[in-house]
């Protein structure tokens, strides 16, 4: 929550997104597509992130993580960019439905 870092145009940055499951049961979740503010600065920005139409699982008492990458084009125009994900908890059955082979090809 409230994680921040500074990048210059033309830079790439890899970092970890972390879920620390302190409960005694697995948790299931997915990431809604990210929101970028201000939207007019989103040209020249690329984020390989969690919103990949996939459900994730963090086992009981474990720490789950995913390495992601944020890229800014050398021609990026903007002074500040805020990228937000909403993480949504789901039940195991719904998670399993989205962990199977896709029934629709990617476009």
Q: Dump pLDDT digits (tens) for 23-68.
A: 999 999 998 888 999 999 889 989 888 888 889 999 999 999 999 9
Give residue 59's pLDDT: 96
Q: Buried b / exposed e across 8-33, counting CB within 10 Å, b at 16+?
A: eeeeeeeeebeeebeeeeebbbbbee
Helix (H) or strand (E) holding 93: helix 92-97
| Pairwise pLDDT comparison (103 vs 5), residue with the higher score | 5
Q: Which of 74, 56, 70 is nearest to 18 (CA)?
A: 56
Q: Which of 80, 86, 88, 69 is nearest to 33 (CA)?
A: 86
Give residue 80's pLDDT: 87
> Which band of pLDDT confidence, cut at 50, 70 and 90, is reported for residue 101?
low
């Amino acid at each position: 929550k409230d994680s921040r870092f500074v990048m210059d145009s033309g830079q790439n940055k890899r970092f970890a997104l972390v879920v620390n499951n302190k409960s005694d049961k697995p948790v299931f979740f997915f990431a809604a597509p990210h929101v970028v503010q201000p939207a007019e600065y989103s040209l020249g920005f690329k984020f390989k992130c969690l919103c990949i139409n996939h459900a994730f699982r963090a086992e009981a008492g474990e720490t789950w993580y995913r390495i992601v990458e944020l890229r800014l084009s050398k021609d990026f125009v903007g002074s500040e960019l805020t990228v937000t994900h909403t993480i949504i908890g789901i039940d195991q059955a719904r998670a399993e439905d989205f962990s199977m082979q896709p029934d629709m090809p990617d476009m």
